[in-house]
Structure 1
Amino acid sequence: MERDGTAHLIDFSNVRDFKGRDFIRITDYNRDEMMFIYEVARLIAKDARMNRSQKDRSWFSKLGKGLMGITNFGEPSSRTHDSSRVAMNLLGIDMPIERRSDAGTSASKGEALAHDMSIAQNYNIDVIVTRNSMEGAPQAVADYFDRHTELHDRHRPIIINGGDGSHDHPTQAGLDHLAMYLWHFVDIDGKPKVSDLSRDNVLTGISFYIIGDSLSGRTGISNAKELAKRCAGKGLNEVVLVGPKEIRMLDEQIDELKAMGLKVRTIDTVEEALEDAAEGSGIPVWYATRLQEERLPPQIVDKVRHSVYTSFDALARHGWLGNRQFKIMHPWPEKKTNRDIDPRLEDTPNWGVFEQMEMGPYFRAAIIGLATGIIPTREGYERWVDVRREKEKQPKYTVTEIKDGSEEKGLAYKLKKAIFEVKEPAVATLVGSIKKDLDPLKAVFAMIDYVFEHASAELLRMLTFRFVRGEDGTVADHFREGWVENGAYNLGVQKLQGTTGSDGKRTIISIVDGLESKRLAAAYRAVRGRVSDYMGKGVLKVRGHQIPPGEFYHLAAISHGLTVSHIKDGKVVAKYLINDPEFLVNFNHCSNKRCVTADEFSEPVPKIFYRSDDGRGWVCRNCDTYIPDKKLPGLLIKGK
């Protein structure tokens, strides 16, 4: 790279070890690492072009001797599948297995995806390029491999994501940027095409027009995130979403891109976008996308098709026809009918699709070669040192014991509503009028005056969470108002209802919601910046069982400041403050119905969520879906 004069485009202090790293998201690699990959891909392209007529086409083909790779595609594919195999061929990697669909595999019989792909792991395959309709599937498989590699002394294949639903297509975004890099910034020999080319301005100044379906298509969002990396938070690139709102990416995705420093605008039609490009000062890139008819309602497709069609005449009207600076790109190939681009444009200098396709094997060869460790990190320098992948640890709950904690007593609670199991004859009429055969935790709303007037002493103790001598149990306090019932179901305490407890008495589960809690308000004010001095809370009581505080670990995600008290012989013997979790495992569902963890797919994949960067939500480990705190209680898994 130094010989070609491009080393100054990379800050090598930011380039980490490539060997052993998967390529699942476009965000897995930082801007300098991606720039390094583009440079390696350029060298592979240069070598391949120089040796097109020779049988032994590239010295890179000697590097992969002894390695094995496979393609495992659960969705139809031509370009990604074929270019991945060509890429491995360029590196000299053997390809003993090829899968073009789930037909004929274990997956077609309803068996788990990770189990199916573990066959390749146990055959000592070195790299797997995969595509699947389930979003987050590559990450789920990678996590499955990680859990068993060290434990069972297995070989760990590299996972390359060839597209997972509408989530991500990192290799497509990579090859698209490689094409733009060679069109506008350097030539195949590494000579700059612009003056004063530097790390700060390479792949910047681009106006990237995404034409058509940016909602369900994965290439648009992946390219936008890669463009955002180059911005360094300074708005040096922009993405223009062209098309009606029905096929435009979600507002939260747009907000995410803006937060990364990318400028994002929206335009309704191709005609308006071409006029906008003529008035702009950036490098125009016209990225036409296919309408994802398999994911969009037919009526939407018919409605929007005309407004996102790129025609020969439209380019001519706006002065772009024949301008080599205005490159047309497309994920290719197109359908026979209802095309996205006027076929006459294939015979113009604007057509960049063929060069774009050529970059596919080169970029994929670069990422596969670096990830497997067969390509050195810098030309003429040492190879990367192989480092063991840090194994992700399962979360362990942390609790802080509160010494000398006092239990709240009396009837001083200002109850707004009560949720409880009622066996009292005095209120049987009230319960029966709502629903017969109540679920133990079904909400029964009653005026507190009515309850106090008719309920027995035992029911009053249950409502006020007072224990008498000889009783054992657990009290979980400071649930956020309205969320205690969801938390109780998540714990699965309904299974204990009616059983015999440790104190020899029948287990009774009771819930009260709507109590005033200044302490909870203070906790949320500290964690979330909440300004109110009042906040309602809920309390869960389980008479007869001391539930370990670790069982409440994840519930602190929906209720900051949650406390758990253990009762023995009617007295508090221990009280715990449950600290906020850093990540959640099998606590809640993902809101993305196409996520690999969705019940529809029945894949045995752990549901893992990490705290979002803004601290106000959770992010799915597999498909990166963002779930705000306020929606989490409605997604809790019941009776885990």
Structure 2
Amino acid sequence: MKFKDRHFVSNDELTRDEVEYIMRKSAEFDKAIEAGDQGAYSLAENLKLMMSLNFFEPSSRTEQSFLTAMHLMGVLPLGVSSAPGNSYSFKGESLYDAMRMFREYRARIAVIRHRLDGSARFIADEMDKLKDQGQYFMGIINGGDGTHKHPSQTIVDRYTILKFFNRLTDECDHPYSLRGLRIMMVNDLRYGRVPHSDVEDFSHDGVHFVFVAPEGMQMPESYLRLIEERGSTYEVHYGLTPELMSLADVVMVLRAQLERMGDLALAEYERTKKLYFVTEKLVKHMKPTAILTHPLPIYRHDPEIEPAVARLPQAKFYQQAGTGVPTRITILCMLSGLIGDDFDGELYNGHVIEEDVYWQEREYVARDVDDKDFYIKPIRKNGVVIDHLPIDTPQKLMWLLQVEKNGDVYRGGVIERTNHPGTYKGMLLVQDRYLTGEEKKIVASLVAGRLTNGRPTSINKIVEGVVTEKHDIVRVPAIITGQGKCKNIISRDGKVLGGCISREEFHEHVPARFVRDGDTQYRCYYCDYMMDAHQLYE
């Protein structure tokens, strides 16, 4: 029961010991299926265990491999098919309502695929809230969320590579590891969720990545940084060559996600796609031991791989699809508590995001009231003074704090510093009002890391005419909730195609949430989109 009551939303929710355990168990299930040893994999037989497949976006391999895995385990499957016509797609139901329904049906696990980035994380969090209230728990497996992640496909990809490089054994130089391999990813690395999850997992192993894609479809910067942080390496190219093919151990060709691309990316792809077309001639430059994979499907009208390639010995994409069954049996068995008692490695205990202090308290030194730079005329007794604002922020801050809407008595703008002619600063003074914790976060996320005339922005609390608190903003807060807007949105020809589930355009009623990533940057909690702090409010 070590893995029970967990989700699988991201590959970073697995320790390295757990990843190795999944590989070992998948190999056992693989052999049992091949041998027809039903007793070895039908672990839920007669348990009346229900699991739900909730595919709100078309799928063949992921949906059917999970369904096959459930049948082989002896699970009772239920759920929403990727075929159109269900209440979510046809009647405008919210994702939360749709998933809550299957929890009420007592599904033990739900596999979800959805077009919006961050959808699986949102639903997993909602299930955790119910669990914290002592209610029935339904585990969530991310079957692919928009352009974001596809963690179970990464398990399939890892297993496939290890299998064909004979690393599913302790009797090799790098057991259950991809260490030392040169892995080349070709085609759409920006809008495809598979390469993101693969990098998230593979980068732990000390591999060398080769990214070959158009400039607008290259691997996002956040994943390149992750590779560097974890000690792996990478290089970037903008076209396939025989030399690149000859050096690769693994060539992972990805499908161009045409249905998710914005105007510019689609135009670039159409203009450059011949540079990434995998031909039989190119594949023949590969090493005899190298393999070529593809998560499928391959477009039959405009394929990224020449049909003749499928008959070459390096092509392993059909076998790759087949490994989806034993690997997904393993994932389902782990999260339902059917296996795991023999696991003795490090367990993932979750990543807690804690609030922290983002200001530095400074003692206020009283100044002569005749010094106009410090004389606060609108505040007679009580209120707040936000001083030394960057000169481009007072107007935006007044709007964010809704001073006019609240009917506050205030003064704000850019002023010349009396004692320093020719230098300017922004100020906002609000009478009879103090900032809440969330409002202070708004100020901090807008100004952190920026100095005005060499000084940080300060928030000053005035009580009975005396400054009782003076906080200099030194960095952005660790967490921002319910404020700002994620910039992850994709549109084409004026039509919104996808983006973060927290965007208002999708009417899923998910409050925005951001986590600090660096001194002045934020990562969207749901979709991992990276933004500078000031972009939250643009």
- Alignment TM-score, normalising by the size of structure 1: 0.73
Does 2:468 match 1:574? yes
1:345 counterpart residue number: 309
Which amino acid in the other structure matches residue 213 of structure 1?
Answer: D
Contact 2:108–2:137 (Cα < 8 Å) also in 1: yes
Alignment of 1:461-540 (within 5 A): 464-467=375-378, 472-497=382-407, 507-513=408-414, 537-540=425-428
Change (3 A) 1:586 1:312: same
Contact 2:385–2:430 (Cα < 8 Å) also in 1: yes
Of 291, 294, 312, 2:280 maps to: 312
Contact 2:147–2:260 (Cα < 8 Å) also in 1: no
Change (3 A) 1:634 1:89: same
Change (3 A) 1:79 1:514: farther
Cα distance in 2, alignment partners of residues 382 and 261 from structure 1: 26
- Residues 360-417 of structure 1 show CA distances to partners (whole Å, capped at 9, x for unaligned) of 1111111221122111242xx68999x9x8897996999998777637744543xxxx
Of 358, 362, 376, 2:340 maps to: 376
Which amino acid in the other structure matches residue 241 of structure 1?
Answer: F
1:584 counterpart residue number: 480
CA shift at 1:143, angstroms?
Answer: 1.3
Change (3 A) 1:371 1:408: farther
Classify the secondary structure of the residue corresponding to 1:496. Answer: coil
Cα distance in 1, alignment partners of residues 205 and 361 from structure 2: 48
1:284 counterpart residue number: 249
User: How many equivalent pairs are there?
Assistant: 514
Which amino acid in the other structure matches residue 485 of structure 2?
Answer: H
Which amino acid in the other structure matches residue 534 of structure 2?
Answer: P
2:213 counterpart residue number: 243
1:406 counterpart residue number: 366
Contact 1:241–1:264 (Cα < 8 Å) also in 2: yes
Gaps of 5+ in 2: 449-455, 490-498
- Residues 309-341 of structure 1 show CA distances to partners (whole Å, capped at 9, x for unaligned) of 11113333x3x3xx6412111111222211111
- Residues 251-300 of structure 1 show CA distances to partners (whole Å, capped at 9, x for unaligned) of 45434323332221123332x1x32342x3xx611111112221234533
CA shift at 1:308, angstroms?
Answer: 1.3
Change (3 A) 1:156 1:555: farther
Change (3 A) 1:116 1:394: farther
Change (3 A) 1:240 1:511: same
Change (3 A) 1:408 1:299: farther
1:335 counterpart residue number: 299
Q: Which structure has the higher relative contact order (CA within 8 Å, separation 6+)? A: 2
Change (3 A) 1:395 1:495: farther
Of 169, 174, 178, 2:155 maps to: 174
Alignment of 1:112-131 (within 5 A): 112-131=94-113
Which amino acid in the other structure matches residue 26 of structure 2?
Answer: A
CA shift at 1:486, angstroms?
Answer: 2.5
Does 2:204 match 1:229? yes
Gaps of 5+ in 1: 1-15, 232-236, 414-462, 498-506, 519-533
Contact 1:480–1:558 (Cα < 8 Å) also in 2: no
Which amino acid in the other structure matches residue 3 of structure 2?
Answer: F
Contact 1:121–1:154 (Cα < 8 Å) also in 2: no
Contact 1:212–1:242 (Cα < 8 Å) also in 2: yes
Contact 2:9–2:121 (Cα < 8 Å) also in 1: yes
2:243 counterpart residue number: 275
1:18 counterpart residue number: 3
- Residues 54-110 of structure 1 show CA distances to partners (whole Å, capped at 9, x for unaligned) of 6xx242313462321111111111001111111222322211324225632145333
Whichever of the two has the greater Rg, that structure is 1
Does 2:444 match 1:556? yes
CA shift at 1:510, angstroms?
Answer: 1.3
Which amino acid in the other structure matches residue 50 of structure 2?
Answer: M
Cα distance in 2, alignment partners of residues 238 and 406 from structure 1: 59
Cα distance in 2, alignment partners of residues 405 and 110 from structure 1: 59
Contact 2:184–2:251 (Cα < 8 Å) also in 1: yes
Change (3 A) 1:148 1:513: farther
Cα distance in 1, alignment partners of residues 198 and 351 from structure 2: 30
- Residues 434-478 of structure 1 show CA distances to partners (whole Å, capped at 9, x for unaligned) of xxxxxxxxxxxxxxxxxxxxxxxxxxxxx9523575x54332334
Change (3 A) 1:359 1:602: same
1:213 counterpart residue number: 188
Classify the secondary structure of the residue corresponding to 2:468. Answer: strand
Which amino acid in the other structure matches residue 385 of structure 2?
Answer: V
1:72 counterpart residue number: 54
Cα distance in 2, alignment partners of residues 213 and 142 from structure 1: 28
Cα distance in 2, alignment partners of residues 477 and 93 from structure 1: 63
Report sequence identity in percent: 22
Cα distance in 1, alignment partners of residues 378 and 195 from structure 2: 60
- Alignment TM-score, normalising by the size of structure 2: 0.85
Cα distance in 1, alignment partners of residues 322 and 337 from structure 2: 24
Change (3 A) 1:372 1:515: farther
| Aligned residues: CA RMSD | 3.4
CA shift at 1:215, angstroms?
Answer: 1.9
Which amino acid in the other structure matches residue 263 of structure 1?
Answer: T
Does 2:321 match 1:357? yes
Change (3 A) 1:116 1:372: same
Classify the secondary structure of the residue corresponding to 2:235. Answer: strand
1:31 counterpart residue number: 16
Cα distance in 1, alignment partners of residues 379 and 216 from structure 2: 61
Cα distance in 2, alignment partners of residues 546 and 384 from structure 1: 46
Cα distance in 2, alignment partners of residues 361 and 488 from structure 1: 56
Cα distance in 2, alignment partners of residues 163 and 263 from structure 1: 26
